[in-house]
Amino acid sequence: MEILTWTYILVGVSFALYIGIAIYTRAGSTKEFYTAGGGVSPLANGMATAADWMSAASFISMAGIISFSGYDGSVYLMGWTGGYVLLALLLAPYLRKFGKFTVPDFVGDRYYSNKARVVAVICALFISFTYVAGQMRGVGIVFSRYLEIPIEWGVVFGMCIVFFYAVLGGMKGITYTQVAQYCVLIFAFMVPAIFVSMQLTGNPIPQLGLGSTVADGTYLLDKLDGVLTELGFAAYTDGRKGMADIFMITLALMVGTAGLPHVIVRFFTVPRVKDARLSAGYALVFISILYTTAPAVAAFGIYNAIDTVSEKRIDNLPTWVNTWEKTNLIKVEDKNGDGIVQYVADKSKNELTIDKDIMVLASPEIAQLPNWVVGLVAAGAMAAALSTAAGLLLVISTSVSRDLFRTFNPNMSEKNELRIARIAAAGAVVIAGYFGINPPGFVAEVVAFAFGLAAASFFPVIIMGIFSSRINKEGAIAGMISGLVFTLSYIIFFKFISPELNSADNWWFGISPEGIGSIGMFLNFIVCVAVSKMTPAPPQEVQDMIQEIRIPRGAGAANEH
């Protein structure tokens, strides 16, 4: 069968599965809408958390950026992996014991202030909308290529699917849908990786294939270094970013992870604190399967792409180039008129432009794998993008209904609260779709901005809210505002106002917009501590509550709450 036929079959079957699960597990109460009723098993929650965590940025864009950036692209791998460990070990158990559904809920109660809650809602909305824009962009790219429709219509189609099962099912529907999506996405990522590893190195384990030799006996990474340097690029295993920028991007991604509201809320869907810890461990195992494979997929992809295109005649290019050209994500220009493609580092002479976000999706076609594998990758990419998009939309709707409307109308009925949550989710889908059609960068870059905003706004007030009884509401509010405004202003200036200045020569201290969230985080810490010292300490009952969160109350007692 043709690729398009396989794609319709596999994507159609997976969508039918997701929608069927959403209908079967639809939320009937606010507790089911927000936390799936708190009765999800640790294993299922671990799979759902992994799917929520491994967004389009992980599935589509991470390997793509490593393909083209080599060593520099590894910051995403290190930052996101380390960040999840930080979240699972340092924050998740305490937040689960605190017992609040959302980050703004935690901030509002811990800092005994509705103003702090509202500021946290604003931060959550900025983070979630920035993050979900990357997911919708990924959805559009997948639909554009595999269903052969314009990328804008691909985003619209994805919006309709997400709207259906996120708005109908709430967290209960999303949780069990994400279990299915994890199975689809991990199978779709690993199958082509194993195929290509066997083709290039004869080793069926991609992680080992990355360190193996190719047909001529040369180690794959040495061969790739040689190919790229001959074309004028930096060696694949060498870095071009400054050490400060590498450190700050990695740090922003790590601590930003710990402040991501859509991941944190997953730990409220299990019955006990013990189950939250266990599900975090399961999720780490499930996540590591993809994250340890991504560097191999990246190296295999760029090696095959260069090998099949560079120095080839334009009228005799591989089918995959002609196919992806229709999406405008690959561009071939014969600048010197010799009829031969030159792929070189010099932009004035380079005749081939490849969008970073297509490398994983195009890799099966580049390697000439069976058509069913290509269709499987399409289904996996859709699962990755839609699972995270649904989680983010739920955060947005919850922030609006529970943390905003209920703050000003505490007597609102559960029915009205659920209605407002669904209306907010619908509005969020529309806004997310707009940013998916008009994104501020490629998928991983957009997601990096979301992590930077989370690092600069949420991480300091969460970590100090748990481990310091002296930080008060005035400090938390001032810290969140200063961190968010500084980071957002820096990103907007270099990405939208003056993109021509977006280079290492003009960045503050050589730190890129992707890494500036780390500086925003330090600013948040400094302002928060300074203002807290100049204002009254929190009430005694709040200080006692903080001690209660951190200290177990006896054998097994903490596990009952």
Q: Dump pLDDT digits (tens) for 463-481.
A: 999 888 899 999 999 999 9
Reported as a pLDDT band with limits 50, 70 and 90, residue 525 is very high
CA-nearest of 436, 130, 81 to 261 is 130
Confidence of residue 536 (pLDDT cuts 50, 70, 90): very high
Encode burial over 17-43: b for 16+ CB neighbours within 10 A, e otherwise.
bbbebbeebbbeebbbbbbbbbebbbe
Band the pLDDT of 558: cuts 50, 70, 90.
very low
Helix (H, G, I), strand (E, B) or coil at 153: helix
Distance CA 191, CA 371 (A): 13
Helix (H) or strand (E) holding 354: strand 352-354
pLDDT of residue 37: 59
pLDDT of 136 reads 77
Using DSSP's 3-state secondary structure scheme, residue 502 falls into coil
Domain boundaries, the chain: 3-303+366-447, 311-359
pLDDT at 483 over 50: yes
Higher pLDDT, 246 or 169: 246
Q: Find out whether 282 and 47 touch, Cβ atoms under 8 Å.
A: yes
Q: What is the pLDDT of residues 341-355, one digit of tens each?
A: 888 888 888 888 888
> Under a CB-based contact definition with an 8 Å cutoff, are residues 252 and 448 in contact?
yes
In single-letter form, the type of residue at position 250 comes to T
Give the number of C-alpha atoms closer than 13 A to the C-alpha of residue 201, restricted to the C-beta side: 25
Q: What is the pLDDT of residues 127-179, one digit of tens each?
A: 777 777 777 777 777 777 766 777 788 888 877 777 776 666 566 777 788 88
Residues 6+ apart with CB under 8 A from 243: none
* pLDDT, the chain, mean: 82
Question: Is 412:405 a contact under the CB 8 Å cutoff?
Answer: yes
The 10s digit of each residue's pLDDT in 279-307 is: 888 988 999 999 899 999 999 989 888 88
What CA–CA distances, in Å, run from 539 to 120, 250, 545? Answer: 21, 37, 10
Nearest to 493 by CA among 530, 539, 439, 440: 440
- Within a 10 A sphere around the Cβ of 79, how many other Cβ atoms? 25
Contact at 8 Å (CB) between 234 and 228?
Answer: yes
Residue 555: pLDDT band by 50, 70, 90 thresholds? Answer: very low
The secondary structure element, H or E, covering residue 55 is: none
> What is 3-303+366-447's CATH number?
1.10.4160
Model confidence over 41-95: pLDDT tens digits? 889 888 988 887 777 777 877 888 888 888 888 888 888 888 888 877 777 778 7
230 within 8 A of 307, measured Cβ to Cβ: no
**Residues 6 or more apart in contact with residue 257 via CB below 8 angstroms:** 79, 80, 82, 83, 84, 86, 87, 263, 451, 454
**561 or 464: which carries more pLDDT confidence?**
464
pTM: 0.80
